[in-house]
Amino acid sequence: MLAAPLLAGTVRAAETDVIPAAALIQPAELAAEMNGTPPTILQVGFSKLYEQAHIPGAVYAGPGRSEDGLTSLKTHVEALPRDAPLVIYCGCCPWNRCPNMGAAYTALKAMGFTKLKALYIADNFGQDWVDKGYPVVRGQ
Amino acid sequence: MQRRFFVGSAAALAFAGRALAAVPQKLKPGMTVPDFARPGLDGKPVELARYKGKVILVDFWASWCAPCVIAIPHFRAWQTQWGGRGFQVIGISMDDSSDDARAAAVRLKVNYPVVMGDARLGERFGGILGLPVEMLVGRDGRILQIWQGDTPPATIEKAVRAALA
């Protein structure tokens, strides 16, 4: 049953728990970095969110929850030096319910990326990024 | 091609005319709910305007979204309990694949119409920039309340009961 693993997810540790606090970047910090030389930014959530609004320069890398998405993510970054600054974000759901960020973070760490940050979006991309007035573009 | 529709502070002033024109209008209680007509997952047409006169709960969800899936049994129960009193749930799936949405709807025994959403429909509803999103619509077609994120079903139920009273 589909509901079983999802319901089980409500009582077990959140998938985002694999991301250490030191690897988190707050929206205000990333927005400030956008004024200088921004890091490589990868959206690992759902495509219909990306099409409506995403951070300028961010690439849609595929959903971290699926094998196909992780394969796409790895393809997007495999040519990058392992010390390249990377930021992943999603914002599909409240942070502790996100099915994408933990798996994407784990995959990129396993590839050896040393300057990997995860954008901490507490509730969703709309409330925590767009509504705050941070830069956004739309389109595929 | 990407198109700027919202920019922050100083840049917003520079681009004001163009940016404001492209910002999706954020929906608020009191506004008329946007209409849409799409085929449902079962192939039957679903047109929101046809439900005017009913209390409608529009639910944006996805099969991989835990809070969405947890809420669906409640919506299903309310549809059964209050359908005869003029209550109607309409699901809009933001899944990439209609197969995923259809499979989830079957597993969850969804008993109300579900259509596939996309970015265009999301923008018509003011931007669906996170899930779940539920909108309660009154019998006059005006939005009564909007919830984003992990909302306790009891909170929504209270509002539905009030709208049906």
Q: What is the pLDDT of residues B8-47, one digit of tens each?
A: 333 333 333 333 334 477 899 999 999 999 999 999 999 9
CB-nearest to A137 from B4, B64, B66 is B4
The residue extents of the domains of chain A are: 14-130
Chain B hits for A92, CB-CB cut-off 8 Å, are 62, 65, 130-131
Residues B76, B111: contact at Cβ < 8 Å?
yes
pLDDT tens per residue, range A69-104: 999 999 999 999 999 999 999 999 999 999 999 999
Q: What is the pTM of this model?
A: 0.87
| Nearest Cα residue in chain B from A51 | B119
User: Looking at beta carbons, which pairs linking B11-17 to residues 24 or more positions away fall under 8 Å?
Assistant: B11/A135, B12/A133
B64 CB contacts (<8 Å, ≥6 apart)? Answer: A6, A46, A63, A65, A99, B95, B100
State residue A12's pLDDT score: 53
CB-nearest to B8 from A1, A126, A133 is A133
Its CATH class, for the domain covering B27-164, is alpha beta
pLDDT tens per residue, range A114-134: 999 999 999 999 999 999 999
Fold for the domain defined by A14-130: Oxidized Rhodanese; domain 1 (3.40.250)
The residue extents of the domains of chain B are: 27-164
Residues A119, A23: contact at Cβ < 8 Å?
no
What stretches in chain B show pLDDT beneath 50? 1-23
pLDDT at position A21 over 90: yes
Chain A residues bordering chain B (beta-carbon distance below 8 Å): 1-3, 6-7, 9-10, 31, 46-49, 51-53, 56, 63, 65, 91-94, 97, 99, 123-127, 130, 133-139
Q: Is B64 close to A136, i.e. CB distance below 8 A?
A: no
Within 10 angstroms of residue B151's Cβ, the number of other Cβ atoms is 16
How many Å apart are CA A108 and CA B136, to the nearest integer?
41
